[in-house]
Structures are given as structure tokens and as C-alpha cells.
């Protein structure tokens, strides 16, 4: 039986199916005589020639290519394939706790959601408790690059023919397979007419989040239409994300859910757009550009720049911006499909990608986070909304689900209001801290979310309430695993009822709110562990 199960898994692997994997971003797997050829092969075109020699004859021996299983194997795996329903039922009965995930690639704010997420359905429940209200904040799903990025990457995409020619002339360090992919690669002209639009991948990301929430909390989808509230900002990518979320939640129910907005001005989920102090002192201030300039002038980045120049072997001298634009092509194409291989990624080593990842960390730290007190104060207004929604639910007047769809800027300001992911020392462009808490790949990927769940509980014949927090469908320690008691939640969050945006006017005095938890809340401990796991994964790969 065990042998048959192994054969079934091997067969699925060979044909590219995903029945055997939760995540397809694995290093190659070896299955003895059923190992796919591309898993272990080299490339004859890359092999060295012998000086002053020329081939005059070739003799070769080949095994046949990939084949279907034989009759006896087919019969055996058909038998064990019949266990499928029992396996599913076993999981639904609470048995089986292992979710295997392979090492993954991180591309800062363009990291695909499936690369870093958990699964809300696998998270622990609280004994004698039932969810009565959910509040969530979401970044839109995967999108196309914006207008300025599209213009820049189109320019460097014009280097394609020179890269191929350089290889054919014996320059550079790319492999033949990389060049094959470059020859087949074409500029996607639709990017020029769909800038910043949500992609099909982005729709699926958000739809799947909602679907998993529906499966985890089906009883919350049995209310009336008025028991739900969804709101989006005035962008195609957030509006369509909201539509995807409602689609995933309401599918298979009798609900007819609607979405509030978008509004031309939204001081709840996009307040920074109309906050003069933020626009003038932070976004338009000198520190963001100064730190980014320091990053591009750093020794690490200069090393990456030289590496890419040598690897591509082209005569055109690549500027610091050119190298980053090549990275933009790589990470956007990579984000659109889990297994999509983009030839432009061949320009970088893993270490190069680690250095390039840091640029967005620097930019977002000074534009949206702890580089100034302003972002955290802006985020406090949305924390206030969370508290007031749960307070209404405790009093019997709340909604089943409240969800907002905004941008990474709003997500990061929300974190800062709570004091999350705050490093002891400020992030600096000139020097990268590999152990930093502020890591946008983990806290600001596409479709990043914070989900708060209010539970009603029976404790010693007394009704109580407990609050759980999940980030990207992973358990956090903003509240304990058993949830914060209502009193603990009030102690942490009630202060935000005083939050407002009066400080946004340059004529008003500053009224700064102290982040919860001081320098960093216990929530950061879990994310720090995730960062260390990622670092260890890279070390193992080296």
C-alpha cells in the first residue's frame, strides 16, 4: 500500500499536477526512475569545448522519455486513489496537522500572497467559543505595474536582443536555457493600457481568502444583507478586490451583498491622500529620497549592479535604476503565476535578490512607517473603527463581517499605530539589517490582511467575549492563542477612541498617539520567527 501511494505521488509530480503539494515553489524532487529529465539535466550547449579540436562523430544511448505507468502499477495506484475521500474526511474530523511548504522567494511588496500566507481554516479555535463578528483590513490583490514602472521596464526590456547577441558572441554568464527563454519572451503590450489594474491572479487571491473565511465561519454567512459591510477605495484594483471578496463570501448562499464606495475622498481607509502634514512633511519630505539614494550608493547595491552587468555581458552600461528596473520585470512576472519562470530573473543570484528586496523596506519605512510619527497617527483612526465595531457587536448591534480594501500604505500605517514590526534601531538605506522586523515581503505583500475575530464564550456559565487576531491567515500574538479577554482588548485599544485627523492640518498643533506596546508589541515575535526561518532557508540553500 505504501509503495502504491508513493507511485501515485510520483505520477502526479511528473505530469505537473499539484495533488501532492501545498506549494509548488519547491527545489527539485528526485523520484528514482520516474524523475523528470529537466530535474537533473544540464545543457550540452554550455559544456566546454577542447582547445584546437572539432567534433567529427557523435554516439549516444537514450532511455525513452516520460511515460504513463504500466498496467500493474496503474491497477495499484487506482486502488489507493480510492482513499481520497477518506483522507478528506479524516482531515475534516480534526486528524492530521502537517502542512508542508517548500522554500519560497521574497520580492518585498510584490511578493505573491500564496508565498507567505497561512490558512485561516487551520488556525485553532477557542474552547466553548463561537465567532460573532469579524473585522478585516486588506491590501488589494496582485496588480500590474503602475505607469512610471511600466515606462521604465519597457526601456530595459529593449535590451533583450543585445543580451542574446552578447551570449552568442561568448560574453556574459547566462546559460543556454536562459537564452532560450529570452528568445521566447515578448513585451506584454496590455501593460500599457492596464496600469495598476488587478490581475486575474489578484482576483483569485482575494476570492480564495473569502472562500476560506466562509468555510471556517459558515454560521456568520447566515445573516441578512444588512449584517455585512464592505468598503473600497477609488481604484480599479481595490474595487475589483472588493468584488472578488464578496464573490467568495456569498457564493453558495442566499446573500445579496453590496459594497460601499468608492468615494472620491475617503478619510477612513485612504486618509493620507488628504492629510497635508503627511503629504508635505513625509511623502514630499527629503528623508525618503535621501535614504533611497544612500541605498543605491551602498556597497551591497554596487556589488549587485556589477554582478548584473557581468552576468548579462552587454556593452550598454547599466545604471543603478536600470538594474532595479530589470528586478521590477522579474518580480512582476514572477508574481503573476507561482511557477512562471521569467528570463529576466536570470540576471540575479539569490544574494542579489536579498539586497534588492531591501529597497522597498527602506522606502516604505520612511514614507509609511516609523521614519516619522505621522503615519502611525493616521493609522490610529482605523484602529478606532475596529474597536467601535467590536464594541457594537458586544452590545448586540454589530455586524457579522466588516471588511475594508485599501493599499499597502494604509496597512503599514495601521501597523505603526499598534507599534508592530518596530526595530530598536531605525532602518537605514546605507546598511541593511538582515534581522530586521520591518520586512515588507512578510508584512506588505499582495493581498496582505489583518483579520480580527470577536468570539462569544461560555466560561463558568457566564457569557464572555474574546478577540483573536490573524495576519495573512497566520496566528499572531497581538492577543494570546486563547484570545484577549474583552477587558484586555479594551485596555489595549480603547485609547484609540480619541484618535482623529486634526493634526493633518498644518495650522494645528500635533497630538501624537503613543503606539500600543511601546517599541514593539509581542506580535512582532511571531513575525521575527518567520524572518529567521526565511534566513535559515537561504543558508541551507547556499
Helix H or strand E segment including 164? helix 160-168
pLDDT of residue 1: 54
The segment with the largest mean pLDDT, out of 134-138, 475-479, 529-533, is 134-138
DSSP 329-385: HHHHHHHHSTT---GGGGG--HHHHHHHHHHHHHHHHHHHSTTSSHHHHHHHHHHHH
pLDDT of residue 128: 93
Record the cell numbers describing residue 54, joined without a space.
Answer: 572539432
C-alpha–C-alpha distance, residues 272 and 495, integer Å: 21
C-alpha–C-alpha distance, residues 284 and 435, integer Å: 29
Buried b (16+ CB within 10 A) or exposed e, 360-383: bbbbbbbbbbbbbbbbbbbbbbbb
Q: 488 and 497 in contact (C-beta within 8 Å)? A: no
Q: 445 and 304 in contact (C-beta within 8 Å)? A: no
DSSP 424: S
Do β-strands 449-459 and 129-139 pair in parallel, antiparallel, or remain unpaired? antiparallel
pLDDT of residue 417: 95
Q: Is 536 helix (H, G, I), strand (E, B) or coil?
A: helix
C-alpha–C-alpha distance, residues 323 and 118, integer Å: 32
pLDDT of residue 54: 86
Indicate if the pLDDT at residue 519 is higher than 70.
no
Q: What percent of the chain has pLDDT over 70?
A: 84
Neighbouring C-beta atoms of residue 296, cutoff 10 Å:
17
**For residue range 257-281, what is the model confidence (pLDDT) as tens digits?**
999 999 999 999 999 999 999 999 9
- Of the candidate ranges 14-28, 395-409, 489-503, the one whose mean pLDDT is the lowest: 14-28
**Cα-based angle 134, 135, 139 (whole degrees, multiple of 5):** 130
CA–CA distance from 173 to each of 153, 253, 348 (Å)?
A: 22, 56, 11
Q: 419 and 406 in contact (C-beta within 8 Å)? A: no
Confidence of residue 196 (pLDDT cuts 50, 70, 90): very high
**For residue range 126-143, what is the model confidence (pLDDT) as tens digits?**
999 999 999 999 999 999
Q: 120 and 212 in contact (C-beta within 8 Å)? A: yes
Confidence of residue 207 (pLDDT cuts 50, 70, 90): very high
Q: 139 and 238 in contact (C-beta within 8 Å)? A: no
Do β-strands 401-406 and 129-139 pair in parallel, antiparallel, or remain unpaired? parallel
Domain spans of the chain?
A: 108-144+198-271+375-541, 147-195+282-362
Indicate if the pLDDT at residue 12 is higher than 70.
no
Placement of cell 503602475 in the chain: 146
Q: What is the CATH T-level fold of the domain 108-144+198-271+375-541, as seen in this structure?
A: Rossmann fold (3.40.50)
Neighbour-count burial of 103, counting CB atoms closer than 10 A to its CB (0-12 exposed, 13-18 middle, 19+ buried): middle
Confidence of residue 90 (pLDDT cuts 50, 70, 90): low
Confidence of residue 512 (pLDDT cuts 50, 70, 90): low
CA 10 to chain centre: 29
pLDDT of residue 20: 27
DSSP 229-258: EEEE-SSHHHHHHHHHHHHHHHTTSS----
C-alpha–C-alpha distance, residues 430 and 300, integer Å: 9
pLDDT of residue 223: 86
Neighbouring C-beta atoms of residue 153, cutoff 10 Å:
23
Indicate if the pLDDT at residue 181 is higher than 80.
yes
CA–CA distance from 523 to each of 342, 430, 470 (Å)?
A: 35, 28, 10
pLDDT of residue 337: 78
Helix H or strand E segment including 484? strand 484-485
C-alpha–C-alpha distance, residues 380 and 361, integer Å: 22
Record the cell numbers describing residue 107, joined without a space.
Answer: 520580492
**For residue range 360-384, what is the model confidence (pLDDT) as tens digits?**
999 999 999 999 999 999 999 999 9
C-alpha–C-alpha distance, residues 431 and 295, integer Å: 7
Mutual orientation of helices 299-312 and 350-368 as an angle, nearest 10°?
140
C-alpha–C-alpha distance, residues 20 and 23, integer Å: 9
Question: Residues 319-329: what's their mean pLDDT?
Answer: 96
C-alpha–C-alpha distance, residues 16 and 343, integer Å: 21
Confidence of residue 510 (pLDDT cuts 50, 70, 90): low
Cβ partners under 8 Å of residue 46, min gap 6: 175, 176
C-alpha–C-alpha distance, residues 260 and 253, integer Å: 20
C-alpha–C-alpha distance, residues 358 and 350, integer Å: 13
Amino acid at each position: 500500500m505504501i509503495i502504491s501511494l508513493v507511485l501515485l505521488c510520483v505520477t502526479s509530480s511528473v505530469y505537473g499536477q499539484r495533488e501532492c503539494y501545498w506549494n509548488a515553489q519547491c527545489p527539485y524532487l528526485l523520484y528514482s526512475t520516474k524523475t523528470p529529465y529537466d530535474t537533473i539535466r544540464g545543457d550540452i550547449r554550455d559544456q566546454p569545448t577542447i582547445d584546437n579540436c572539432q567534433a567529427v562523430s557523435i554516439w549516444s544511448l537514450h532511455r525513452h522519455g516520460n511515460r504513463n505507468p504500466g498496467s500493474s502499477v496503474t491497477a495499484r495506484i487506482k486502488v489507493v486513489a480510492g482513499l481520497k475521500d477518506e483522507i478528506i474526511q479524516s482531515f475534516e474530523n480534526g486528524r492530521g496537522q502537517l502542512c508542508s511548504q517548500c522554500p519560497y522567494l521574497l520580492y518585498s511588496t510584490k511578493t505573491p500572497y500564496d508565498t507567505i500566507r497561512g490558512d485561516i481554516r487551520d488556525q485553532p479555535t477557542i474552547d466553548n467559543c463561537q465567532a460573532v463578528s469579524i473585522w478585516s483590513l486588506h491590501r488589494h490583490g496582485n496588480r500590474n505595474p503602475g505607469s512610471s514602472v511600466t515606462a521604465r521596464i519597457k526601456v530595459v526590456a529593449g535590451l533583450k536582443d543585445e543580451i542574446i547577441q552578447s551570449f552568442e558572441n561568448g560574453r556574459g554568464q547566462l546559460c543556454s536555457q536562459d537564452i532560450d527563454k529570452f528568445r521566447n519572451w515578448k513585451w506584454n503590450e496590455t501593460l500599457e493600457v492596464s496600469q495598476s489594474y488587478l490581475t486575474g491572479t489578484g482576483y483569485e487571491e482575494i476570492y480564495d481568502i473569502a472562500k476560506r473565511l466562509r468555510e471556517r465561519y459558515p454560521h456568520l454567512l447566515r445573516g441578512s444583507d444588512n449584517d455585512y459591510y464592505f468598503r473600497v477605495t477609488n481604484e480599479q484594483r481595490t474595487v475589483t478586490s472588493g468584488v472578488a471578496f464578496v464573490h467568495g463570501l456569498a457564493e453558495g448562499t442566499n446573500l445579496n451583498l453590496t459594497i460601499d464606495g468608492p468615494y472620491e475622498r475617503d478619510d477612513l481607509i485612504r486618509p493620507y491622500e488628504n492629510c497635508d502634514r503627511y503629504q508635505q512633511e513625509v511623502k514630499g519630505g527629503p528623508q525618503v529620497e535621501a535614504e533611497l539614494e544612500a541605498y543605491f550608493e551602498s556597497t551591497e547595491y554596487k556589488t549587485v549592479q556589477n554582478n548584473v552587468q557581468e552576468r548579462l555581458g552587454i556593452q550598454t552600461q547599466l545604471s543603478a535604476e536600470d538594474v532595479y528596473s530589470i528586478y521590477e520585470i522579474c518580480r512582476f512576472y514572477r508574481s503573476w503565476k507561482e511557477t512562471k519562470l521569467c528570463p529576466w530573473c536570470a540576471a540575479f543570484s539569490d544574494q542579489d535578490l536579498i539586497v534588492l528586496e531591501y529597497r522597498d523596506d527602506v522606502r516604505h519605512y520612511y514614507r509609511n512607517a516609523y521614519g516619522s510619527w505621522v503615519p502611525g497617527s493616521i493609522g490610529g483612526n482605523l484602529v478606532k473603527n475596529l474597536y467601535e465595531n467590536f464594541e457594537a457587536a458586544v452590545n448586540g448591534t454589530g455586524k457579522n463581517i466588516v471588511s475594508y480594501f485599501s493599499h499597502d500604505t494604509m496597512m503599514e500605517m495601521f501597523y505603526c499605530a499598534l507599534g508592530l514590526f518596530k526595530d530598536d534601531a531605525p532602518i537605514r538605506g546605507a546598511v541593511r539589517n538582515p534581522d530586521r522586523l520591518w520586512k515588507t515581503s512578510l508584512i506588505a505583500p499582495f493581498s496582505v490582511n489583518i483579520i480580527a475575530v470577536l468570539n462569544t464564550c461560555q466560561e463558568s456559565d457566564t457569557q464572555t467575549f474574546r478577540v483573536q487576531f490573524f495576519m495573512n491567515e497566520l496566528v499572531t500574538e497581538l492577543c494570546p492563542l486563547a484570545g484577549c479577554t474583552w477587558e484586555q482588548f479594551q485596555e489595549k485599544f480603547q485609547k484609540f477612541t480619541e484618535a482623529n485627523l486634526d493634526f493633518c492640518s498644518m495650522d494645528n498643533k500635533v497630538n501624537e498617539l503613543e503606539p500600543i506596546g511601546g517599541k514593539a508589541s509581542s506580535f512582532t515575535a511571531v513575525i521575527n520567527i518567520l524572518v529567521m526561518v526565511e534566513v535559515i532557508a537561504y543558508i541551507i540553500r547556499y
